[in-house]
Amino acid sequence: MSEARVISPRVTMIPATRERFTSMPIHHARKRRVAAYARVSTRDEEQRNSYEAQVDHYTRYIQNNAEWEFAGVYADRGITGTSTKKREHFNDMIEDALAGKIDLIITKSVSRFARNTVDSLTTIRTLKERGIEVFFEEQNIYTLDSKGELLLTIMSSLAQEESRNISENVTWGIRKRFSDGKIMLPYKHFLGYRKGENNLPEIVPEEAEIVRRIYRAYLEGKSPSYIARQLSASGIPSPSGKANWRPETVKSILTNEKYKGDAVLQKTFCVDFLTKKFKANEGEVPQYYVENSHPAIIEPEVFDMVQAEIRRRGQSGRRYYTPHCFSGRIFCDECGSAYGSKVWNSNSKYRSQVWQCNGKHYGSQHCSTPPIRTETLEEAFVLAVNRVLENKGEIIAVCETVMTERCKVETLNEENARLQAELEVTTGLMERLIAANAAMAQDQAEYNHQFAEYETRYNMLREKVAEVEAERARRIAQRGTLKEYLATLSTQGPITSFDETLWYGAVEQVRVKADNRLCFIFKDGKEIEI
């Protein structure tokens, strides 16, 4: 039997006929379609010039290359590089590239393309899969090159770290300005102020009057919803320029301390420099309270009166919908519930509006206080006011004494300063204790005991500060209330009919008794029974 002959394999190479990434014939003469990307992160004058220079440079750069076909310049202005989500023109460019309209993208540097490592690499790999190349001028990196991805990973990480450093420096600068008492306002969406000389807030008179209108309406018993509807009906645009006001916008104006000339700084802080996510400051970073930082639109007393009224409405447990002047001011003397408006005989000629206890039909025990007609309340108010006016001089003297003796805040200011200093010392001791424990292992039982003592003292001081500040706000609000009441009394003469403005200015509340008597409690605490 003859031996099998060994046949050596013969290999024939079949040359590639198409480009690896573009799938175009190798000898295809079509020009590469080239686009450029430019970006600046701020909108100031210097950066605007940089933006225009980049666009002009790349336009000429591409058009002057005979082997390239100009596919446009995509540029974003005033957009951060830490995320691609809000970069409209960047995303348009990527879409066009993936749609086959671009073969090569030229950009100045990795940091111009993206400062987020993940975004940068993800986008580059997506383009690479479709044969689309990116060229970074400063680093001389071509992404289709074998070394491109390694270099790109390193440079993207460096760009992200640079962005982190920039963010930290900016944050430090902002906090330094805060600690120096320098405030910044979002003027575009902030009613009542504009940027004035030395970048300080300056009052806009016509807008300031809208703010004062909101505060007056609230003190007159109007709800934020009602105020919002009235402002919308008057054709007054909201702070953001919209035709319709939202109740939340009114509430934010009513509670913003900046309208009384003070400022709480760093109410929010950035938790992630890449996502630009902000959260409410709940003690994670320092806050700064700056008094008299800028001109006030609302007098401090009026502002504190509004805060007191907000708390009063919140404690009453009811929602304020109706604009009627009696809403939230008539109460049952037995159960303490507010009186609400009801309509009797709504479909007859005897139709009338009455007020009755909202708690009458709830619970096992029903109060015996009667319903009161609106007309009865108005007539009783006229009688009560005229009785007060009989002793106007005496009441004015008492109010002035109360304002002088019982509404002083100087001692409270001193106490608050002392407590704040103690808080600062205690905080420093806690920080040093933590640092020492981190630097060198210590007796953990002793450490925990010492830390618990500091923590207890810290919490106690915080509570005392809150109490002092609450009392200070109460006295300021009371002083404002009495000042308004005195202004009302000093010029007021006897009345013959119900006056809504006088009602708001003079009466704190009315208590309805079971025997049909009405007890009017005035702003100075004086009680008149009718």
Check if the beta carbon of residue 439 is closer than 8 Å to that of residue 270. Answer: no
Where in the sequence of the chain do the CATH 1.10.287 domains occur?
330-529
Q: Where in the chain is the domain with CATH 3.40.50.1390?
A: 32-167
Question: What CA–CA distance (Å, rounded) separates 406 from 420?
Answer: 24
CB atoms within 10 A of CB 112: 20
Mean pLDDT (whole number) for 396-400? 80
Flag whether pLDDT at 448 surpasses 50. Answer: yes
Residue 120: count other Cβ atoms within 10 Å of its Cβ.
24
Backbone angle region of 87, left / alpha / beta, with phi > 0 → left and psi within -120 to 50 → alpha: beta
Q: How confident is the model at residue 208, as a pLDDT?
A: 92
In the chain, residues under CATH classification 3.90.1750.20 are 187-308
What's the rounded Cα separation, in Å, for the pair 427 and 433?
10
Q: In CATH, which superfamily holds the domain spanning 187-308?
A: Putative Large Serine Recombinase; Chain B, Domain 2 (3.90.1750.20)
Higher-confidence position of 241 and 287: 241
Alpha-carbon gap, residue 470 to 457, rounded angstroms: 20
Q: Any idea which architecture 32-167 has in CATH?
A: 3-Layer(aba) Sandwich (3.40)
- Residue 78 DSSP label: S
Among 73-82, 95-104, 360-369, the range scoring the smallest mean pLDDT is 73-82
pLDDT at 168: 47
Structure tokens at 73: 């310049």
Topology given in CATH for the domain delimited by 330-529 = Helix Hairpins (1.10.287)
**pLDDT of residue 420 exceeding 90:** no
Q: Which of 3-12, 215-224, 509-518 has the highest mean pLDDT?
A: 509-518
Selection from 190-199, 229-238, 427-436 with the highest mean pLDDT: 229-238
The pLDDT tens digits for 310-352 are 877 776 555 555 567 888 789 998 888 888 888 876 667 767 7
- As beta bridge partners, residue 372 has 355
281 vs 176: CA distance, rounded Å: 17
Phi-psi region of 221 (alpha: psi -120 to 50; beta: other; left: phi over 0): left
Q: Is the pLDDT of residue 253 over 70?
A: yes
Q: What are phi and psi of 344, to 5 degrees?
A: -100, 145
What are the distances in angstroms from CA 250 to CA 2, 191, 386?
A: 105, 11, 36
Of 199, 190, 180, the C-alpha closest to 240 is 190
Residue 442: pLDDT over 80: no
Q: Which range is least confidently modeled, 116-120, 276-280, 440-444, 467-471?
A: 276-280
Return contacts of 48-52, CB within 8 angstroms, 24+ apart: 48/77, 51/75, 51/77
Distance CA 530, CA 45 (A): 70
Q: Which strands, in side-by-side order, build the sheet including 339-344? A: 339-344, 352-357, 372-373
- Encoded tokens for 79: 């957009």
State pLDDT tens for residues 16-61: 665 554 555 555 557 889 999 987 765 444 445 567 788 888 898 8
80-84, 263-267, 281-285, 429-433: range with lowest mean pLDDT: 80-84
Q: Residue written as tokens 């006001």?
A: 245
What is the pLDDT, as a whole number, of residue 492? 81
What does pLDDT average to over the chain? 78
Using one digit for the tens of pLDDT, what is the confidence trace for 139-148?
Answer: 788 887 766 6
Rg of the chain (C-alpha set): 36
Question: pLDDT > 90: what percent of the chain?
Answer: 13
Residue 173 has pLDDT above 60, yes or no: no
